[in-house]
Amino acid sequence: LSQNGMAQFQEVMRKQLEASMHKELEKLLSTTKGIEAELARKDFEGFKKIFHSFLQAKGPSVDWAKIYRPPEDLIQPYDKIKARGLPENVAESLNKLVVVKLNGGLGTSMGCKGPKSLISVRNENTFLDLTVQQIEHLNKTYNVDVPLVLMNSFNTEEDTKKILQKYAHHRLKIHTFNQSKYPRINKESLLPVAKDMSTLGENAEAWYPPGHGDIYASFRNSGLLDQLITEGKEYIFVSNIDNLGATVDLHILNHLMSQPDGKRCEFVMEVTDKTRADVKGGTLIEYDGKLRLLEIAQVPKAHVDEFKSVSKFKIFNTNNLWISLPAVRRLQEQNSVDMEIIVNPKTLDGGLNVIQLETAVGAAIKSFDNALGINVPRSRFLPVKTTSDLLLVMSNLYSLEAGSLTMSKKREFPTTPHVKLGSSFTKVHDFLTRFESIPDMLELDHLTVSGDVTFGKQVSLKGTVIIIANHGDRIDIPAGAMLENKIVSGNLRILDH
């Protein structure tokens, strides 16, 4: 075939695949009715768009030669924004704000059932408890009405709604809406693996929530976007519910509210300086004259090492975002939210290879006017993805006040220690049984623990501490022990007699 003929052949194949997919979706819709069918039809409209784009895609979506480091005025240092101070009418700005937490994830990676937001992280408080306390404190302090919105997924909706009853008498309104439900695609046939619309039994693995980029469509589909705009709300502050550093920042809010009308900044992405631990995080670049989020999945293979280097790309996306509500509505109406597709391969329990098509909320930055990056302190990025992170936030490195964690004044260095706990600590339940109490970590730089290790009460860790129990051995760190710049290995067991 000539090049032209090949292109025509590929186009025919694409159209056939798309037609087959649409037919399968109609079949799935016929297995449900009423309100559920209506919701599914809306979801499928979004899925058809993403599937169409997926079929059109050809290799990595960026031309490496067109990537530039953003000009300085497009990434402002936080100190410069803070230096402007706050106006007297902070309350006026707060009344135009909505806090949105991404609450679609399960706690499975930490060995927990149900929504991740319901894991206890500090003094019996869950991620959700801390969020509620923060916003309630804000509402009381400034006598305002900042609502909390949770974007749930079909995995987390039921458990989250049950738990919300306990906040009925708190001083904040809580709204929820659901992410879309998209069908996983058989990698070979490129058709859905689902037999019907249910998410139970053998069909449970056939569906997935399509990443947090889905917020724009599902927020609007839920009717909540229009409702909040009618109530006079102008901006949403979006963040992951497991990022304990993502609190409402009055200086960033004031910066947004004080722009002249024609120059309103519609999108702020909080970025922070990269360390060696963040090499996979998305970064901001200038591309075709606009700010754009570059994720590792979009990088051509030959340039992955360059992408990971801390010298070329010095910042990464914290996923703390401030977005204009009227702008979201405008872009949704014009169907012009442009996000790259993330193709996420998975293997189901039965061994079937599937793909799920996802998008990331920050990828839409290029669709908004006057977008801006703000380089914030690392303290605004405190995600709890593993029990190693959990150990840090449960320790005396942080003090808790009104739902917010702040680094203890007693710690002499602003950086957090580097903690690596081995596989015996992966599940929250196992982790908790291995610590009689959380050690004193104020002077700790680095902790590595591997194997069957337990900690007694009031242990103190300083400097670099490495504890390695070999296979079949066990190490019990006795109560009251103080380890400073120590390597403990082999077998250490203290027995009562």
Q: Which residues are part of the catalytic machinery? A: 385
Strand 97-103 relative to strand 235-240, pairing: parallel
| Average pLDDT of the residues in 377-390 | 93
pLDDT attached to residue 91? 95
Would you place residue 10 in the very low, low, confident or very high pLDDT band (cuts 50, 70, 90)? confident
pTM of the model: 0.93
Rounded Cα distance between 256 and 93, Å, is 9
Q: Is 235 in contact with 97 (CB distance < 8 Å)?
A: yes
Spatial separation of the C-alpha atoms in residues 374 and 272, rounded to whole Å:
8
Question: What does the alpha-carbon distance between residue 356 and residue 187 come to, in Å, rounded to a whole number?
Answer: 9
CA distances from 160 to 42, 91, 126, 151, 453 (A): 23, 29, 12, 10, 35
Rounded CA-CA distance 19/24 in Å is: 9
pLDDT surpassing 70 at residue 60: no
Residue 357 has pLDDT above 50, yes or no: yes
- The whole-number average pLDDT for the span 406-423 is 90
Question: How do beta strands 398-401 and 404-407 pair?
Answer: antiparallel
Q: Which of 249, 327, 320 is nearest to 93 (CA)?
A: 249
Is 59 marked within a binding site?
no
Residue 57 pLDDT grade (very low, low, confident, very high; cuts 50, 70, 90): confident
Residues 6+ apart with CB under 8 A from 442: 396, 397, 408, 410, 411
pLDDT-based confidence at residue 274 (cuts at 50, 70, 90): confident
Residue 494 has pLDDT above 60, yes or no: no
* Cβ within 8 Å of residue 225, ≥6 positions away: 219, 325, 328, 329, 332
> Which residue's structure tokens are 């090049």?
3
- Cα–Cα distance, 270 to 51 (Å, whole number): 30
Bridge pairing between strands 148-152 and 440-450: unpaired
Residue 274 known to bind ligand? no
Q: How many residues does the chain have?
A: 497
Apex CA 115: angle with CA 112 and CA 116, to 5°? 65
Task: Assign 59 a pLDDT band (cuts: 50, 70, 90).
Answer: low
Residue 84 predicted with pLDDT over 80: yes
Tell me the backbone φ, ψ of residue 134, rounded to 5 degrees. -60, -50
Strand-pair partners of 269: 321, 373
Q: Is 242 annotated to bind ligand?
A: yes
Q: Look at 491 and 104; give whichever has higher pLDDT.
A: 104
421 contacts 391 by C-beta, under 8 angstroms: yes
Tokens standing for residue 426: 């992966």
Among the ranges given (287-301, 365-379, 430-444, 459-473), the one the predictor scored with the smallest mean pLDDT: 287-301
Residues 6+ positions from 26 with CB-CB distance below 8 Å: none
The helix or strand, by DSSP H or E, that contains position 434, with its residue range, turns out to be none
User: Helices marked H in 165-316 — which ranges?
Assistant: 215-221, 224-230, 250-257, 304-308
Q: Work out the pLDDT band at 497, boundaries 50, 70, 90.
A: very low
Burial environment of residue 83 by CB neighbours within 10 A (0 to 12, 13 to 18, 19 or more): exposed
Q: Inform me whether the pLDDT recorded for 162 exceeds 50.
A: yes
**Which amino acid appears at position 429 of this protein?**
H
Residue 211 marked ligand-binding: yes
